[in-house]
């Protein structure tokens, strides 16, 4: 098909027309050839793009505390069953064919029902690898959601005591 379009002749003649020219002993390829040298760059004024940063706005990170446990909501998409699971840090709970492990739960200091986030490991019966392992944010569970065809899990709040 390439020969029908006239490409065969171009490929054959094009290979012969490539010329490779070696560098002379005096030519050095690399930094400083045909452009600015290091000395030229150092002699440029330090204004323009290299201005000092002024009026930098900083944002304080919200102080968080670890909770002693968490409340996690579980949903069975097939049956519509919903259950709130109370977990201690390091503890597990079962819901249907899944097992939920809570590694940690953190929330803003003084507001455990606020924007909590929990480290969860979810295992499904019969599967060796976890269906989910990571942090979930209560206010935005879709940021790092568990991808399972039947079950859904998301944290609600941290518990303290």
Q: Report pLDDT digits (tens) over 25-80.
A: 555 555 545 666 777 767 766 665 555 666 777 777 778 888 899 999 999 999 99
Range scoring the smallest mean pLDDT among 31-35, 118-122, 155-159: 31-35
Task: For residues 17 and 119, give the distance between their C-alpha atoms in angstroms, rounded to a whole number.
Answer: 63
Alpha carbons within 13 A on the beta-carbon side of 92: 10
In this prediction the pTM is: 0.61
pLDDT score recorded for residue 33: 56
Asked if pLDDT for residue 108 goes beyond 90, the answer is no
Task: For residues 148 and 161, give the distance between their C-alpha atoms in angstroms, rounded to a whole number.
Answer: 33
**Model confidence band, residue 15 (pLDDT cutoffs 50, 70, 90):** low
Task: For residues 124 and 133, give the distance between their C-alpha atoms in angstroms, rounded to a whole number.
Answer: 12
DSSP secondary-structure letter at 143? G
In 3-state terms, what secondary structure has residue 51?
Answer: coil
């Amino acid at each position: 098909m390439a020969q029908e379009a006239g490409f065969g002749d171009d490929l054959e003649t094009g290979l012969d027309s490539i010329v490779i020219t070696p560098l002379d002993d005096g030519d050095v390829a690399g930094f400083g050839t045909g452009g600015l040298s290091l000395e030229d760059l150092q002699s440029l004024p330090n204004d323009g793009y290299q201005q000092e940063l002024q009026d930098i706005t900083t944002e304080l990170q919200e102080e968080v505390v670890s909770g002693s446990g968490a409340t996690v909501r579980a949903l069975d998409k097939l049956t519509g069953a919903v259950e709130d699971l109370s977990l201690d840090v390091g503890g597990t709970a079962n819901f249907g064919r899944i097992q939920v492990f809570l590694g940690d739960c953190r929330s803003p200091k003084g507001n455990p029902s606020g924007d909590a986030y929990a480290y969860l490991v979810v295992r499904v019966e019969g599967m060796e690898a976890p269906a989910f392992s990571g942090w979930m944010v209560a206010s935005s569970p879709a940021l790092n959601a568990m991808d399972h065809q039947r079950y859904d899990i998301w944290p609600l709040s941290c518990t303290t005591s």
